[in-house]
Amino acid sequence: MSKSEMSRFIAAVSADAALQALARTKATDASGIVALARSKGYDIGPEDIEEHVKSRAADLTEEQLGSVTGGAIPRVLVLIY
């Protein structure tokens, strides 16, 4: 998988309020994010989400990082978008 596919999905979610609403309700964990992305035609996998979150780790506050490592997926969604 390429970074560009993940970037396209993030851009689509950022630009589409209906897709954001779906993400909030259906994408409550990594598999939900993958399922939503694939249902919309994006070819991403859990490893793409993990890679994206790791690449953004330098931008995280200590509180956000603690939430991600603690498994708080809704906060991960915020970080992804």
Rg of the chain on CA atoms, in Å:
12
What was the pLDDT predicted at 53? Answer: 79
C-alpha to C-alpha distance for 78 and 76, rounded to whole angstroms = 5
CB 23 within 8 Å of CB 75: no
* Per-residue confidence in pLDDT tens, the chain, 81 aa: 567 899 899 899 989 999 988 888 888 888 889 999 999 999 999 888 888 877 776 666 777 666 654 554 554 555 555
C-alpha to C-alpha distance for 21 and 5, rounded to whole angstroms = 20
User: Residue ranges of the domains in the chain?
Assistant: 3-80
* Single pTM value for the model: 0.67
